[in-house]
Each structure stands twice: as C-alpha cells, then as structure tokens.
C-alpha cells in the first residue's frame, strides 16, 4: 500500500501559516498552497496588500490592480518554505508577468509551485518499493481594466495540479494526483481624501472559486480554499522624496463542513461559512506600513492577528531599487508556523 509521509502532510496543512490554525475549514480543504502569499514586498507589510496591488504580484493579490498597472513588469521569488521544519527539499517558487495593451487593459499570468519533498512507497508488508515526489502547482491567467478613472475590475482563471503521489493506495481507485480549475474576482477603487488630499484605496479579492477536487472519486472530493480578502490603503505622504503608506486587510476563509462530514460547494459556502464562528473572531487581520525614500530605498513593518489560532507574528522588510530593478526582502518572526521564513524577490520593469 501507499504510505504517505506524515511530515509532508502536516507541512501541507500548515503551509499557509495562520490560516491553518484560525479556520477549522482549512482542514477540510485541499490545495491550500493556493493561500500562500507571494512577494517579499507584501510579506514585509504583514501581508496587507489587497488595496495596494501596484506591481506584478497583483496577479495573485488582486487582479483589479492590473487596471492601473500600465506597464510591463516581471516578478520572481524563490524561498525555502517553513525553515523551522528543517526540510531542505521544501521550497516555494512564484513568477508573475504583466503587460499593458492600449485600449484593452492589462493582461498577466503567474505560476505558483511548491515542492513538498519525497516519501517512501511501501507494500502491504512495509517493504520499501521506491520513493515518490510530492508537489503542487497552479497556472493563472489574469486580466484587469478600468470601469471609470478610479474604479478597476479584475479576473483570474487558474488551472490547479496537485501531485501527492504517483500511485493509488490499496484497493482505492485513482492515485494521489488531481486537477482542478478556479476563478478569482477582484475590485479596486482609488479616491482622494477631500480634507487632506491624500490617496485612499479600497480593494477586495474573492479567490479560488471552483468545484471540489478529487484524488480518488467524487464521493471523497474536498473543496479548494475559497477566500475573501478585503482592505484599504492610505497614502499619508506622497512627495518627491518621501512616500508613506498604511495598509489594513481582513481575510475570511469560505469553507463549510457539516456535522455529517459533508462540505458545501463553494457557491453555497460563500454564504454558509459566515455562520461557523462569530464573524470578527474567525477572521485574520493584517496591518502593514511602507516607507519609500526617493524611490530608491524602502522600509517595511507588518503584523497580523489570528485570534482563534492565538498567533500574532510580526514582519519586517526592505527594498533597494536600481534603475528598473527592485530587490525585496522580508522576514517573519514571532509565534507562527512561518516564523523565521525569509522571502527574497526580484521585480523588473521592462
């Protein structure tokens, strides 16, 4: 039979950090790597970015940000994921590209890949027959355009591939491989605060809306992690040499399981998942600050609050920009499954 490595399965369940402990529903979802947030810049801001979404990572954070991104950009990120587990073959990669087309809007794509290492394949007697690799990936096509001068809409369409094992387990049908698709919808509204004449933006992204994903058969299918992220950003300073922005996000995982162990399809869970816990308790709150000096150097600090999981980690980060190249760094410390995780990413304006 197939014996899956317990360490890898545990890592898979905690790979999104605070979501895994705050939301009971995440344990009922599959493909939760879709919630791992990319980009060292958002990572340094406590992962509060849905209302900013102004670089190539917007294809993940909020496709509506593409509506205001009238240029070509490329973002690359590689990180050793969850270093506290001391698993050298556990890593996460992200690549995103955006391209503005006159009179059409901005198109983009991203690729997410997480490698979860290898596990032994054994028979019924426990004899090792070999090893198999475990990894997951998602390919996303994005589009965003303005409806009015200040209001943008965005859409993502993604293909999901999950490879937990090469062969099936015992007499069960199928194997540890599954595919699926999902869509994201995003909105972004920018306005000027009338008294102080400062820019305020409001953003929301409803991500991973798709059918349940099955490795064996539809009777054993699990939902993917539909998630609602919304927030605001306030630009306190914006002059020739100084830019300072405060961002605040809230997250709600929309997965619902009943007492009979059945889970709602995503279009039902969009409504029923709000009744599991008091709404303000089972949400994740993210706060971030970003300061730029002369568009050359940036400093960041962030914090998130997971009340159910009792996790309140902090983050910090920095950027250095040289010509069209921007190098981003972030680090997570404090109580979190992601603690001591370092993100490094490169952003290139083409």
Write out pLDDT tens, residues 226-275: 999 999 999 998 888 999 999 999 999 999 877 667 888 899 999 988 88
Q: For residues 292, 35, 13 and 24, what is the CA-based torsion angle, rounded to 10 degrees?
A: 110
Confidence of residue 125 (pLDDT cuts 50, 70, 90): low
- In the chain, what is the greatest distance between 2 CA atoms, to the nearest angstrom? 74
Range scoring the smallest mean pLDDT among 8-22, 168-182, 312-326, 327-341: 8-22
- Judge whether residue 22 has pLDDT over 50: no
H or E element that contains 266: helix 266-272
Helices (H) and strands (E) in the chain, counts: 5, 14
What percent of the chain lies above the pLDDT cut of 70?
83
- Say if residue 240 is exposed, middle or buried (CB neighbours under 10 Å; 0-12, 13-18, 19+): exposed
DSSP state of 12: H
CA pair distance 328, 321, nearest whole angstrom: 9
pLDDT bracket for residue 349 (50, 70, 90)? very high
**In this predicted structure, which of 122-136, 181-195, 300-314 has the lowest mean pLDDT?**
122-136
| pLDDT of 3 over the 60 cut | no
For tokens 């099955």, name the residue. Answer: 214
**What Cα–Cα distance (Å) separates residue 108 from each residue in 24, 48, 158, 281?**
33, 21, 12, 35
Please report which confidence band the pLDDT of residue 348 belongs to, taking 50, 70 and 90 as the band edges.
very high
Decide: helix, strand or coil at residue 10: helix
Q: What is the DSSP string of 13-82?
A: HHTTTHHHHH-GGGGG-S-GGGGPPP-HHHHHTTT--TTT--STTHHHH-GGGGGG--S-EEEEEEEE--
CA distances from 166 to 4, 130, 135 (A): 11, 11, 11
- What predicted TM-score, i.e. pTM, was given to this entire model? 0.88
Residue 347 has pLDDT above 80, yes or no: yes
What pLDDT was estimated at residue 10?
A: 44
Tell me the range of 32-36, 110-114, 198-202 where mean pLDDT is highest: 110-114
Burial class (CB in 10 A: 0-12, 13-18, 19+), 177: middle
pLDDT tens per residue, range 304-345:
888 777 788 899 999 999 999 999 999 998 767 777 889 999
- Give the least confident one: 25-29, 48-52, 131-135, 196-200: 25-29
Tokens of 190: 């920018």
- List the single range of 9-18, 48-57, 85-94, 153-162 with lowest mean pLDDT: 9-18
**The two three-digit tokens of residue 146, written as one number:** 């303005």
User: How is residue 211 written in tokens?
Assistant: 């059918």
**Taken in order 113, 119, 122, 126, is the CA torsion positive or negative?**
negative
CATH architecture, range 6-349: Beta Barrel (2.40)
* Distance separating alpha carbons of residues 256 and 35, to the nearest angstrom: 17
């Amino acid at each position: 039979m197939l014996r899956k490595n317990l360490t890898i399965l545990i890592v898979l369940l905690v790979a999104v950090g605070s979501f895994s402990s705050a939301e009971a529903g995440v344990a009922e979802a599959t493909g939760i790597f879709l919630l791992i947030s990319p980009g060292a810049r958002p990572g340094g801001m406590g992962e509060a970015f849905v209302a900013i979404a102004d670089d190539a990572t917007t294809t993940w954070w909020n496709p509506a940000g593409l509506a205001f991104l009238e240029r070509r950009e490329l973002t690359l990120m590689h990180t050793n994921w969850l270093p506290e587990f001391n698993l050298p073959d556990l890593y996460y990669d992200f690549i995103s590209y955006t391209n503005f087309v006159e009179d059409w809007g901005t198109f983009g794509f991203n690729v997410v890949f997480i490698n979860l290492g290898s596990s032994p394949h054994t028979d019924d007697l426990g004899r090792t027959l070999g090893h198999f690799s475990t990894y997951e990936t998602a390919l996303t096509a994005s589009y965003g355009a303005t409806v009015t001068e200040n209001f943008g809409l965005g859409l993502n369409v993604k293909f999901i591939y999950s490879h937990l094992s090469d062969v099936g387990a015992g007499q069960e049908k199928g194997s540890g491989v599954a595919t699926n698709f999902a869509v994201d919808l995003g909105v972004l509204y920018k306005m000027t605060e009338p008294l102080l004449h400062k820019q305020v933006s409001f953003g929301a992204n409803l991500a991973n809306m798709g059918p349940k994903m099955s490795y064996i058969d539809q009777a054993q299918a699990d939902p993917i992690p539909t998630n609602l992220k919304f927030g605001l950003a306030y630009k306190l300073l914006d002059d020739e040499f100084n830019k300072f922005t405060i961002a605040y996000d809230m997250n709600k995982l929309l997965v619902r399981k009943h007492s009979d162990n059945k889970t709602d399809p995503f279009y039902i869970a969009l409504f029923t998942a709000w009744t599991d816990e008091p709404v303000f308790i089972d949400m994740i709150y993210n706060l971030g600050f970003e300061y730029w000096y002369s568009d050359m150097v940036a400093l960041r600090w962030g914090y998130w609050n997971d009340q159910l999981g009792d996790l309140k980690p902090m983050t910090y980060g920095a950027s250095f920009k040289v010509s069209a190249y921007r190098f981003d760094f972030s680090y997570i410390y404090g109580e979190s499954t992601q603690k001591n995780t370092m993100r490094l990413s490169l952003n290139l304006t083409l």
